[in-house]
Amino acid sequence: MTPMADFIPNQGDLSFLRFKKTGRYFGSFFTGGAQTTQAIATVNSLRAFPFYIPLNVKFDRIAIRVTTAATGTTPRVRLGVYQDNGSVYPGKLALDAGEVSVNTTGIKELTIDLTLKSGKLYWLAFIGQDTTSLAVGAIPSGDALATFLGWDASLAGTPPLGYAATQTYGALPADYPAGAADWSLPVPLIALRKA
């Protein structure tokens, strides 16, 4: 990484997004604020949230934090990453990391080997199976950046922060389903750890 003292503004990105500390987790963009929780008990809902990469970065973990354990008979969540399709919408699958059991609280992480490319928009995604009562750590909707999806023509209400598509639980589809609904609730903190 180039030290800030040696950085020439017209030769790179000076935004805070380019700085990621090794060994730390990073999720969908947010402006700050106390972490909240979000119920994600709806089964067969494939949710995706934007994740911009200004420089090539390698990640070695993907995780969520369960704050209220699921009480279903097969409570699992599958985690993954999609590329953007060029229209600020999830497109091709970049990573199906596998599933984590969510019948206990705490950090649920999977080992990955994923390098995301500079200047690209990606989408952190998850889908649940039989996740009654499940809640996870989340970014309050009021603290999340809305610049990717913007407001609708009314300029009213909470701007969308991601998408939720109907999808049968299982391996993540090769292409994110078309016609997903806007998501404007707190953003579940699906996070990638910098290697």
Q: What is the pLDDT of residues 64-78, one digit of tens each?
A: 999 999 998 989 999
Stretch among 8-22, 116-130, 181-195 having the lowest mean pLDDT: 8-22
Taking each continuous run of H as one helix and of E as one strand, the counts in the chain are 0, 13
| Within a domain: 124 | yes
- Whole domain around residue 159: which residue ranges? 35-194
| Within a domain: 17 | no
- The tokens describing 56, both together, are 């090539």
pLDDT of residue 191: 94
| Within a domain: 60 | yes
- The tokens describing 35, both together, are 């972490």
| Within a domain: 176 | yes
Task: Count the domains in the chain.
Answer: 1
**CA neighbor of 172 nearest in space, from 80, 50, 74:** 80
pTM of the predicted model as reported, rounded to 2 decimal places: 0.88
- The tokens describing 172, both together, are 């993540």
Q: What is the pLDDT of residues 19-57, one digit of tens each?
A: 667 878 888 876 667 789 999 888 999 999 999 888 899
| Within a domain: 12 | no
| Within a domain: 15 | no
| CATH value at residue 100 | 2.60.120
Q: What H or E segment, with its residue span, contains residue 57?
A: strand 57-68
| Within a domain: 18 | no
